[in-house]
Structure 1
Amino acid sequence: MSGGRMMRVLLTGVSGYIGKHLYESLHMEHDLVVLSQYKQAYEDVSWMRGDIFALEDVITAMKDIDIAVYFLDPTKRSSKTMEASYNDMNALAADNYGRAAEAMNVKEIIYVAGAVEDDETLRILRSYQTPVRVTHTAIRRKGMLARFQSARRDDVRIIRRFKIPASWTLEKFTAHYFDYYKNVLPGLSNVEIDENSYYLQGAKRDLIHLKRRTALSNNDRQIFDIAGGELATIRHQHTGTLEFRRMLGTEEIMVCIHRYEPSKSWLFYQLLQAPFHALTMRIFEVEMRIEKFNEEQRNGQTKTYTPHR
C-alpha cells in the first residue's frame, strides 16, 4: 500500500508460466495492469491492448504506474513469424521498458531474474533514470529463436542488431541502409525518395512504400510506416513499421520491422522473400563490421577483424 491506496503494478501478460506466477503473487494486494495484445481471462486486472516491442504502446501502458515488472517470456510470441534472436528481442523490450518508465516517472522497475541475458538486461534498464530492483528468487528460462508458428495475426516481426563505427550517427546509418538496398542488386534494386516517402523498388516496380513518421523520429529513433507497395498488405488498424533505434550508451543500432503483413502467399514469403532478406541483412552486417574495423584502424586501434558468427 502507498498513501492509503493500492500500488498500481504493470505486468506484460499473465498467460504464460511467469505471468501466472506473478499474478497469483500480486493480485490480492496490488492494482494490476496487464499489457498484452490479447485480452486476458482474469477479471481483476486492467487490460491494456499493446505490444511490448512497440515503444509508444509501453509508454501508454505506464501512465499512472507505480511499479513496472519486467520479464520476457521466451515461449510467447506476438507474431506469426518472428525472425530474431531472443537476445535481440529482449534487448529491444528492455529498452522500451527503460525509456517508457523514465518518460512516465514510474517509481521503480522490478526485474525478474533468471534469464541467460540478466547482465545485459540490467545494463539496458539501468541506463535510464528509473531505479531497478532485482528479484531474490530467479525464475529460470532459456532464450529461444522462433520463426514460423501459429498466431492470431498473419504478420512478421524482424529484429536485428548492428554494430556501427563510433563516429556514426543514427541519421548516417539510416542513409547508408537505404543506399545499401539501392545497390544490393545493381540494375534491379533502387530507392526513390520524395521528401518523407521512400519507395523500395525492384525491376522498376514499387515493392515497399515507406513513409517517415516525423513526429516520432529524432536522433535516437527513426520510424517509417509501411504505407504500400506490391509486397505489403495494408490495414489501417495494424500499420506495419520499420524502425531504426540507437541503443543508449552503445555503438549498436536496432533495425526492426513490426507488424508487417506480406501480400504474397506464406509459401512465397518463406521460400523466397524471407531468405533473400535474411541474406541481404547478413551481408549488410558484415559490411558494417568492416566499416567499424576500418575506422578503428584509422584511429590507431589495433584489432583483428573476425566475421561475426
Structure 2
Amino acid sequence: MKILLTGASGYIGGNLMESLKEEYEIIAISRNTSNKEDEENVTWKEADLYSQLDIEQVMEGVDIAIYLVHSMQPSSKLDQGTFGDKDAILADNFAWAAKKQDVKRIIYLSGIIPDDDELSDHLESRLECEKILGSYGIPVSTLRAGLIVGPKGSSYPILHNLVKRLPALLLPAWAYNRTHPVALKDVLSGLMEVVKRKPEQNESIDIGGPEEKTYRELFEETAEVMDKKLPMVDLPIIPIFLSKLWVRLIAQKPKEMVYPLLESLTHSMVMREENYVEGISNAPTTFKESVRIALDGELDQSSPSAGGLLQKKDIQKNDVKSVQRIKIPEQWSVEDTADYYINWLSRIGGRLINTSVDDKETSITLPFFKDPILIFEKSEERSYEDRLLFYIKGGQFSQKREGGRARLEFRRVLDKDEVLIALHEYEPTLPWFVYTLTQARVHLMVMKAFGFETGLLANMLGSRYAKYVSNPHAGRA
C-alpha cells in the first residue's frame, strides 16, 4: 500500500513516518527536498500544497493520503489574509487532487471540536478543513486530538515554557476550561490504527488521554514533574488579548501560532461520546507520564530548525501571498465574480485604472505607463466550474522569471456564497520596502473594497447595483 504523507518534515509527520515505513511505502512531501534523502520504503517528493498542479502530480498511484497541514506559519515573505482562508485553499487543493488521482482514503489530524454554537477562528478553520476534505466523495477519517504532549509541536511547548520561565502564574478565566491531553506516542498509535480502518463514509474520531483536566491542573502537574514550585493566583478579569501578548512574550513563539491557539482556550475541549472508538480514543498514557516522556526528549527549541518553526526572516524570496474571502450573490458563479472584478477595477479607478480583455489575456494599465503594469492569462487547463486560474505573464510591476508561477485565482469551496481570491508567488519589481508601503497596501485596500461591494450586492438586492446581481457582465467592454 502506498501512503502519501504531508508534513513529513514536521515533528508529528516525521515521527509518524518512522512508524509507517515499517509496513507501508511512503511518499513524503516537503516544499524543499534539497536536504532530504530517500531511504527504504520512503521516497521524498517536492510540492507546494498551494499549487494544485504540484499536489496532483505527487498523488499519482497513492492509496491513502495523510493530511498534517496548517498555515499558521508564513509561506511567503509577505502574507496577506487569515490562516483560515489559506487553510481552506490548502485543504481544497488536497481533496481535489485526491479525487483526480482516485485516492481511496484521506486521513486528517485535527483537534477536538467542542459542541459550542460559536467557535474560535482556529477551531472553525479546523472544522471547515474537515468539511472541505470530506466534500469530494472520498472517505475521510479525521482524528481529533486533545492537547498533544510532546517535546516539540505547537501547544504543549508553550505551556512548558510558561512553567519553566515564570516564577508565578496569574490565571485567567480560561485556566479552568477543560481539555483531554494526550501523549504524542498515543496519537501516533491512533493514526496507525486509523490507517488500518476501511470506512465507507466520513468519520470523526476523538482521541485523548485517560484524564480530563483543567489548564490549571496542567500547569500544576507540569511544575510538579519539573520539581518546581509555581505559585498561582486567580485573576479571571484578564482578557484574552492580554493573555496572547504575555504568552507570546514568555513562550517565545511566533504570534501566528500563539494567537490562534490561545483564542481556542476559551472553549473546553473534551472528547464526545459519539466520536469514541474503542482502541483509538482511549489513549492510555497519563498526563504526568506524557510530560516525563516530553522532558526526556526535550531539545533546545529556540531556533527555527529545532522547533520546526519557519520565520518570515528565514524566507529569502521576495514573494507575496494574498488571500481574501468575499461574499457574493447566490446567483453568481466563480466566473461571474472574476468578470465583475475586472469591470469593477475600471469603474472605481476612473481615469487612473484601465482594464482590457483580449481573448484569454487581461491587462491592467495606469496613466504615465506606456505598457501594462500587469498582464494575466487565463489557464483553461487549470480552471473549472468552482475555480478560475490566471497566470501573471508579465507587466511592469511583475518580475519576469523563467518557470515563474505567479498567479491569481478565484475559488469557491463547500458550495458557499463565498469566493476566495488568492494571489500566489507574486514577485514585485518595486524595491521590497517600497512595495510593502505602497502597492501591497493598495492591493489590500482594493480587495477589501471589492469584498465590501459584493457583500452589499449579496445583501441588498434592491440597491442601485441590483442589475449586476442578475447580470455581472453588464458594462463589460
Determine if the TM-score, normalized by the shorter chain, exceeds 0.5. yes
Task: Please tell me whether the aligned partners of residues 10 and 34 of structure 1 are also in contact (alpha carbons under 8 angstroms).
Answer: yes
- The 2-side partners of 1:139 and 1:238 are apart by 40
| Pair 1:123 & 2:120 matched | no
Q: Which residue of 2 aligns with 1:84?
A: 81
- Equivalent residue number for residue 191 of structure 2: none
- Which position in structure 2 is the counterpart of 1:202? 366
Deviation digits for residues 190-218 of structure 1, max 9, x if unmatched? 10111111111121631101111122223
Matched, 1:106 2:122: no
Show the 5 A alignment for 1:122-161: 122-135=130-143, 137-138=145-146, 144=257, 149-161=313-325
Which residue in the other structure is 2:48 paired with? 51
Is 1:242 the counterpart of 2:239 in the alignment? no
TM-aligned CA deviation for residue 219 of structure 1:
2.0
Report the count of equivalent residues.
292
- Could you tell me which residue of structure 1 aligns to residue 12 of structure 2? 18
> Retained in 2: the 8 A contact 1:35–1:52?
no
Q: Secondary structure at the match of 1:135?
A: strand
Partner of 2:202: none
User: Secondary structure of the equivalent of 2:332?
Assistant: coil
The residue aligned with 1:32 is: 26
More displaced 10-residue stretch of structure 1: 16-25 or 267-276: 16-25
Identity of aligned residues (%): 30
**Per the alignment, do residues 29 and 268 of structure 1 end up closer, same or farther by CA in structure 2, a change over 3 Å counting?**
same
- 1:69 aligns with 66
Separation in 2 of the partners of 1:34 and 1:153? 24
Q: In the alignment, is the contact (CA less than 8 A) between 1:157 and 1:258 conserved in 2?
A: yes
- Counterpart amino acid of residue 223 in structure 1: L
Distance in 1, matches of 2:105 and 2:22, equals 20
Secondary structure at the residue paired with 2:3? strand
Give the superposition deviation at 1:274: 0.8
Indicate the residue corresponding to 2:345 in structure 1.
181
SS of alignment partner, residue 340 of structure 2: helix
C-alpha contact 2:399 2:427 (8 A) present in aligned 1? yes
Counterpart of 2:408 in 1: which secondary structure?
Answer: strand
Q: Which residue is 2:453 aligned to? A: 287
Quick one: distance in 2 between partners of 1:93 and 1:49? Answer: 15
RMSD: 2.3
> What is the letter of the counterpart of residue 78 of structure 1?
S
1:165 to 312, 326, 329: 329
Q: Which runs of 5+ in 1 are unaligned?
A: 1-6, 299-309
Label 1:208 to 1:131 Cα distance change in 2 as closer, same or farther (>3 A).
same
Normalised by the length of structure 1, the TM-score is 0.87
Are the aligned partners of 1:224 and 1:241 in contact in 2 as well (CA < 8 Å)?
yes
8 Å CA contact retained: 1:18, 1:139: no
SS in 2 for 1:275: helix
Please list the CA deviations of residues 61-91 of structure 1 after superposition, one character each: whole Å capped at 9, or x if unmatched. Answer: 1111111111224454332222121101111
For 1:158 and 1:147, the matched residues in 2 are separated by 17
User: Aligned AA for 1:129?
Assistant: G
Structure 1: how far apart are the matches of 2:21 and 2:74? 24
Cα distance change, pair 250–73 in 1 and its aligned pair in 2 (3 A) = closer
Candidates 393, 397, 414, aligned match of 1:231: 397
User: 1:139: how far off?
Assistant: 6.1
Seen in structure 2, the aligned counterparts of structure 1 residues 136 and 84 have a Cα distance that, compared at 3 Å, is closer
Deviations 1:103-162 (A, max 9, x none): 111111000012622221111111111100012545665765999543143211111111
Q: What per-residue deviation string (whole Å, max 9, x for no partner) do you get for residues 197-254 of structure 1?
A: 1111121631101111122223222111111111100212222111111224211111
Q: Distance in 2 between matches of 1:267 and 1:69?
A: 39
Partners of 1:163 and 1:148 in 2: CA distance: 30
Q: Deviations over 1:269-308 (max 9, x none)?
A: 111111111111111111111111013999xxxxxxxxxx
Secondary structure at the residue paired with 1:23? helix
Partner of 1:301: none
CA distance in 2, matches of 1:81, 1:147: 11
One-letter amino acid of the counterpart of residue 267, structure 1: F
Structure 2 residues not aligned, in runs of 5+:
112-121, 149-153, 156-255, 261-309, 467-477
What amino acid is the match of 1:261?
E
Mapped contact 2:36–2:44 kept (Cα < 8 A): no
Alpha carbons of structure 1 residues 136 and 179: separation in structure 2 relative to 1, 3 Å: closer
Aligned-partner Cα distance in 1 for 2:70–2:401 = 28
CA deviations 1:42-79 (Å, max 9, x no partner) are 53232222210111111111111111111224454332
Q: State the 1:13 CA deviation.
A: 3.2
Partners in 2 of 1:260 and 1:170 — Cα distance?
Answer: 22
- Corresponding residue SS for 1:18: helix
- Residue type at the aligned position of 1:236: E
Larger radius of gyration: 2
Distance 1:296 1:17 in 2: 53
| TM-score normalized with structure 2 length | 0.57
